Amino acid sequence: MSRTPHTKTPETAPAGGKAPDPARRSDRSRRAILDAALALVGEVGYNKLTIEAIAARAGVGKQTIYRWWPSKAAVLLDASLALAGDAPTADGRTGLPDTGDLAADLKQVLRATVDEFNDPAYDAPLRALTAAGATDPELAARFTERLLAPQLALYEDRLRSARAVGQLAEGADLRLMTEMLLGPLTYRWLLRTAPLSHAFADALVDAVVATA
Amino acid sequence: MSRTPHTKTPETAPAGGKAPDPARRSDRSRRAILDAALALVGEVGYNKLTIEAIAARAGVGKQTIYRWWPSKAAVLLDASLALAGDAPTADGRTGLPDTGDLAADLKQVLRATVDEFNDPAYDAPLRALTAAGATDPELAARFTERLLAPQLALYEDRLRSARAVGQLAEGADLRLMTEMLLGPLTYRWLLRTAPLSHAFADALVDAVVATA
């Protein structure tokens, strides 16, 4: 323990002096590791992914990864959170857009989700992780708690705002509506039963908004 | 080539004489192979499944399997079709129930689907195959064509009957309604975001039927 409460750790030190900024270097390494993990899981699948391969692809030592994450599942969870944070749907992670027009806002978000699903940079890792979670309940529980449940909550929050201003019926089941938006989209994406398009996203929103 | 056109092959010969019936024996072997394939894919996953292991579990020779199927994917496709054929939802594979009460009929079918998803004998192989299909487009395309598309068509047919007698609006999008029924159910099952219950199935049917 340090007696100096303001002592900075290397990972959080601000820029200063002539040496390369350790905080920035650390951020770059962290980002390289997350990017490598996403790219690799899309290429080889979850089961064959190793910390060694992630380290090699990211250009860091294995110990750098183990310093921050205890397992490949933990790396991938943070990588997925970063991916979700990059996505236009997350909107700075403060909530879904709220222009006052519920259908328009939901269409914007669902169209962006369609674009993600159709983008190989998202599609490949998300497929690999969904496939792994389908048959690995412990992994699935972690992803549901940290990633899916907060996403579902964003939709419920937006629907709650609409209900509060009388755009949805008092008794509208917000959770059910959320699953009616995301379920069919995820179904088409994962099972490839039909092409995912903006038109499909729009039709889905109109149908779901009409239920309440 | 035989000059006797009516010569029976062992696999299709009817019962007769004192020997065990080859057709029945063949049916038993076939069923044992399909059951073994389903059980094993649920235990070890698609990638680790081998024809050798299926043969050993079924108590048949490897060549017996190769005589009927060219690959494990082909065995699993037939096994899944047999599983779907056993399911109460398939209703003799002639269509969904039609008592004239659309919501009641759909609830019956979706409740049965919930029961299947909650039954380990269905859950494990379906998860393994869905996970494999998620990252194997060729496998997914075969399963979609032979298994999923015909199932979706059964729902569309039932909705079409309802539309024909004026229970749904003229412009009702039957495909969209079908995906709004099956998407959320499959999403909850696969991603384990919440428990799958009859109450959820009923709420989903009521909401979807209300859209048109």
Domain range annotation of chain A: 15-71, 87-210
Interface of B with A in 64-103 (CB under 8 A): none
Record: contact B186-A183, CB cut-off 8 A: yes
The lowest-confidence range among A136-145, B2-11, B166-175 is B2-11
Yes or no: is domain B22-72 CATH 1.10.10.60? yes
Judge if ipTM > 0.85: no
Cα–Cα distance, A84 to A167 (Å, whole number): 28
pLDDT at A73 over 50: yes
Cα–Cα distance, A202 to A108 (Å, whole number): 9
Q: Smallest CA–CA separation between B209 and chain A, in Å? A: 9
Where does A15-71 sit in CATH, by number? 1.10.10.60
pLDDT at A164 over 90: yes
Helix spans in chain A (H): 22-44, 51-58, 62-68, 72-86, 102-117, 120-135, 137-143, 149-164, 174-191, 198-210
Please, what is the angle between helix B72-86 and helix B51-58, to 10°?
50
Q: Smallest CA–CA separation between B103 and chain A, in Å? A: 15
Q: Which of B54, B61, B55, B53 has its CA nearest to residue B37?
A: B54
Both tokens of B166, joined, read: 């004026």
- Integer angstrom CA distances of residue A167 from A161, A210, B26: 9, 10, 62
Q: Smallest CA–CA separation between B127 and chain A, in Å? A: 6
Cα–Cα distance, A22 to B198 (Å, whole number): 55
pLDDT at B89 over 60: no
pLDDT at A199 over 80: yes
Cα–Cα distance, B211 to A29 (Å, whole number): 50
Q: Residues 6 or more apart from A3 whose CB is under 8 A from it?
A: none
The CATH architecture of the domain made up of B87-210 is Orthogonal Bundle (1.10)
B55 touches chain A (CB under 8 A): no
Residue with token string 């969870």: A77
Which position has the higher pLDDT, A84 or A90?
A84
**Exposure pattern of A49-61 as b/e (b: 16+ CB <10 Å)?**
bebebbbebbebe
B185 touches chain A (CB under 8 A): yes
Cα–Cα distance, B190 to B178 (Å, whole number): 18
Of the segments B39-48, B54-63, B121-130, which one has the largest average pLDDT value? B54-63
Both tokens of B197, joined, read: 């219950």
Both tokens of A40, joined, read: 């690799």
Record: contact A191-B140, CB cut-off 8 A: yes
Residue B18 pLDDT? 55
Cα–Cα distance, A129 to A148 (Å, whole number): 12
